[in-house]
Amino acid sequence: MSMPFLIVGLGNPGSRYSETRHNAGFWFLERLAENCAVRLRPQSRLQSEIARVELHGHDCLLVRPSTFMNHSGQAVRAVMDYFRTDAASLLVAYDELDLPPGVARLKQGGGHGGHNGMRDIFRHTTDHDFLRLRIGIGHPGSKDAVTPYVLGRATSEQERLMREAISDAIDVLPQVLDGKLSNAMKALHTEKENGL
């Protein structure tokens, strides 16, 4: 049996954080689960909530870590080990300060960019050449303001734009899963640039 493709959304658990900018990865995963009409179910030994779905003809696992953001790597490692998957079958969605709300970008490999969830995934994995979906949340303008900003609630306009970007990203998932990453990137990245 072939290994499932893991789609992981990063965020912090609990109602206190559910509407914060830092939970954009959870928003993405929750929208995907809603579209697939599945419920994420707790798997305590994997430190995650998981749903197994067939997505565009591919066996996929939707994974929402139940750890806090800065321990995301523990959950990702546990799921990868249990399902015997590797970096080639992993997509991680998370919030990105360096992109404005309304923009989402696909990327393969690279650094963690200072993101605490990504940093912990790097700590718990050896192959960092996995796919990332970076969901823009904008930057507060000052380094000192970053923590309260990411842990704060987006304005209604920011949230609308972020959720639009999430929808755009979901639209290109069939190409991602088919291994047509360049096509997916072109479709996702040029849509906003052209103002479509």
Q: List residues with catalytic annotation.
A: 22
Sequence-separated (6 or more) residues with CB below 8 Å from residue 166: 24, 27, 28, 31, 104, 135
Q: How far apart are CA 15 and CA 183, in angstroms?
A: 37
Tokens 């734009």, located at residue: 161
Cα separation, 42 vs 63, in Å, equals 10
Instruction: Look at the chain and count its residues.
Output: 196
* Per-residue tokens: 174: 């069939």
Contact call for residues 9 and 118 (beta carbons, < 8 A): no
Residue 181 has a CB neighbour count (10 Å cut-off) of: 15
32 backbone dihedrals φ, ψ, rounded to 5°: -65, -45
